[in-house]
Amino acid sequence: MTETVVSIELPVAEHLNIRKNRIMPLHPSGDEKRIAIVTGTHGDELEGQFVCYELLRRLKAEPEHLKGIVDVYPALNPLGIDSITRGIPMFDLDMNRIFPGSENGPMMESLVYHLTEDLKGANLCIDIHASNIFLMELPQVRINETTAETLIPLAEKINVDFVWVHASATVLESTLAYSLNKTGTPTLVVEMGVGMRITRSYGFQLVDGILNVMKSMGVWEGNVRSVRTPVISTDHAVGYLNAGSAGIYIPHVKIGDQVQAGDLFGEILDPLTGDVVEAVEAPISGMVFTRREYPVVYSGSLLGRILGGKEQ
């Protein structure tokens, strides 16, 4: 059942509507657990659109196995998706920087307030993001270290390749996930793929993981596929690769590859002179979980990240 969560009047007789699709069990008892899938906070992140479709398709194919409530919010920022804009167009706002909002605040703060209120109380919220147009990310869950004890057991079941636990000082308090976790609504942030694209293999991988989590919670009783065991980053080194020169970047590794320190990671080329301006080497040994996709780079541009071994 689709319903409008928030509706705000816009100029020229238009409305900004945030909608969700609620899937109920065939025989509700009244005390079902609820899981929320949210995506589309940034209009240039489309990986979650396919996840919403595929999850709903599988739930509708086997409705007898659903024992809880699933709320799917495919477009928290519909104006951004329609205009291929990361933030909220016209307002020049990053939607994921104004949570939890304010009931009587400006228009967008009121919108995110009512959205937060609708999500609060879920037994689990999964907030799906993609990277930007510049970078490809291996499927991962990102967690604030202050909520790691609660969230890591859930993240281990969702079929991602690794879980990146961030220090609390690096986590923005104005995000949807932070705001929901603070209210006691467990929220996992999934980052995967690349901006303005859909990576179907990642979508299938995550849907398998969502169903696996749902089964562990008693929300789903259908068959689930086996899931991978992620690496937890808490005691692992992370190596960053940044360009030292401007030029055209050509990567020499694939996302998910294992590399050794000193391996050729990529090259920065000068198309005017035909020279290799910089040979970029892996600073540590480990797994490539971020890879530069957009070729034009400048000094300081992020080229990739490597999840290394245990820190000494």
- For 137-154, write each residue's pLDDT tens digit: 999 999 999 999 999 999
CB count, 10 Å around CB of 190?
28
pLDDT band at 188 (very low <50, low <70, confident <90, very high): very high
* pLDDT of amino acid 92: 82
In this predicted structure, the answer to whether residue 209 has a pLDDT above a threshold of 80 is yes
In this predicted structure, the answer to whether residue 169 has a pLDDT above a threshold of 70 is no
CA distance 209 to 282: 31
**pTM for the whole structure:** 0.96
In this predicted structure, the answer to whether residue 310 has a pLDDT above a threshold of 90 is no
Nearest C-alpha neighbor of 219 from the set 101, 111, 62: 62
User: Residue 103: is it exposed, middle or buried by C-beta count within 10 angstroms (0-12/13-18/19+)?
Assistant: exposed
pLDDT band at 161 (very low <50, low <70, confident <90, very high): very high
- For 60-109, write each residue's pLDDT tens digit: 999 999 999 999 999 999 999 999 899 998 888 999 999 999 999 999 99
